[in-house]
A and B are shown apart, each in its own frame.
Chain A
Amino acid sequence: MWSSIRTAWTIFLHMFRRRETIQYPEEKPYIPPRWRGRIILSRDPDGGERCVACYLCAVACPVDCISLQATEDEHGRRYPEFFRINFSRCIFCGYCEEACPTYAIQLTTDFEMGEYDRQNLVYEKEDLLIEGPGKYPEYNFYRVAGLAIGGKDKGEAENEAPPVDLKSLLP
């Protein structure tokens, strides 16, 4: 009986404590920079699309919400013809970001993407592509990769030596 009364008194005193509630729309909670929110496609510092349409994100996705089609431009650069993320399926696990070899697909801190119509949650490439490089400002895949494309031959990438001529005896 005594402990019950003391409990009730303690609870009563909680009336004068500070509220824990964050009044959300007016008052924003702290979002950590590594928050896994709305997915974007970033561009390299030169403004080109980073995505090379390797399908690794689509394979890694546990709910199969990413769909894309690869194609090539006149320089031999691969890029996605379309890139579609169905956010009504996405579980924001971040596996696509982990799988991406070119830092193209990234998760952001934005989570306010409510819609009245489900169809509006299907984001096309125009909706996903952003203007900047996202979390990796300096990185450019084609500049560091050994792959030859139009305008950049073998051995011309950063930190890459020209290929050895196997048919020559000179050092």
Chain B
Amino acid sequence: MSEIGLALANVFGVLVIVLAVAALLIWVERRLLGLWQDRYGPNRVGPFGLLQVVADMIKILMKEDWVPPFADKAVLVLAPQIIAVVALLAFAVVPIAPGIGVVNMNIGLLFFLAMSSLGVYSLALGGWASNSKYSLLGGFRAAAQLLSYEVFMGLSLMGVVMLAGTFDLRAIVEAQRPLWFIVPQFVGFIVFTIAGIAEMRRLPFDLPEAEAELVAGFHTEYSGFKFGLFFVGEYIGLVLISAMIVTLFLGGWLGPWLPPVVWFVLKTALLIAFFILLRAALPRPRYDQLMAYGWKVMLPLALVNLAVTGAIVVARAPAH
């Protein structure tokens, strides 16, 4: 009985906290962007502007939930749900600390990759169902970008898998006890970080929505709650990718003195802040540059990293 209670507490705890953090990130991102642009950001509503989150939520939920008459209604409604659900599902395998985390799968890493790949359906279908030019272009871009960057996102992780010898995320964290994987797998870390930004459509790589050229890309025709779901999906994606980098390269919950949960949260928060810094600092590349960068630089780099890591692992393995 208490086991079931513990599992339920884990499931709902993680769900509630992830959603709360995703909502809070609206405020965090605006404040941090303000900080780096020599201004304050929202600081009026409640202490430090914290209630801005509530105000934003009320506003977005009160908006008219409009479906354009020319759109494919069923798919249009379905698309934003996919991304939010998929991002939350991927969170199920994230090992937050010993004893905290929804499930403990021996293929956790593959599950994460699979779920983040499914996200592309949301964008492509959303862009297609909207039945407008900008949305369609955004959807196409999303499909091409996410598929290209998926390739070496998976490949860059194989070095970690070889070193740890498992797909189990908890075992991968435990394998980092002597040395965090960011040191032996530095190239993998760089490649995975860049692929992660592209996969979550964060700002230097937000070409699917590129507001300067495509209005709002795949969610041009979305409003109200459905737009909110896309929004939440993106922020959960940001938390997810930060949590995954922490798990795979930065030693997860490992760390001295402080309790494991604190270490995990601290590292994840720092990475999130770093991603927001990138948003504040870097301009968006052109679309062909993005593709060339992915296929001509990142993919070979990931392959070389894979080959070298494999060679070292084989060379150091005890002879049979």
Q: Which residues of A contact B (CB under 8 A)?
A: 4, 7-8, 10-12, 14-15, 17-21, 23
Contacts and interface: CB of A to CB of B under 8 A. Distances in A.
The 5 closest A-B pairs by CB, nearest first: A11-B281, A8-B281, A21-B39, A7-B281, A20-B38
B39 A12 contact: no
A81 B6 CA distance: 81
16 contacts: A7-B282, A8-B277, A8-B281, A8-B282, A10-B281, A11-B36, A11-B277, A11-B281, A12-B36, A12-B277, A14-B35, A14-B37, A15-B35, A15-B36, A17-B38, A20-B39
A23 B40 CA distance: 9
B175 interface: no
Interface string B8-46: 000000000000000000000000000111111000000
Given A11-B281, A14-B38, 14 more contacts: A4-B282, A7-B281, A7-B282, A8-B278, A8-B281, A11-B280, A12-B36, A12-B277, A15-B35, A18-B38, A19-B38, A19-B39, A20-B38, A21-B39
A122 B41 CA distance: 35
Contacts of A8: 277-278, 281-282
Contacts of B280: 11
Which of A10, A17, A19, A20 has the most chain B CB atoms inside 10 A of its CB?
A: A19
Query: In terms of DSSP, what is the predominant structure of the interface of chain A?
Result: helix
Which of B39, B40, B277, B281 has the most chain A CB atoms inside 10 A of its CB?
A: B281
Nearest to A8: B281
A34 to B, nearest CB: 28
A4 B289 CA distance: 15
A21 B49 CA distance: 15
Contacts of B278: 8
A100 to B, nearest CB: 40
A149 to B, nearest CB: 55
Contacts of A4: 281-282
A14 B40 contact: no
Contacts of A12: 36, 277, 281
Contacts of B36: 11-12, 14-15
Nearest to A17: B38
Contacts of B37: 14
A19 B277 contact: no
Nearest to B32: A15
A12 B36 CA distance: 6
B136 to A, nearest CB: 31
B86 to A, nearest CB: 29
Nearest to B282: A4
A10 to B, nearest CB: 7
Nearest to A7: B281
Contacts of B281: 4, 7-8, 10-12
B238 to A, nearest CB: 17
Which of A7, A10, A11, A20 has the most chain B CB atoms inside 10 A of its CB?
A: A11
Interface in B255-284: 277-278, 280-282
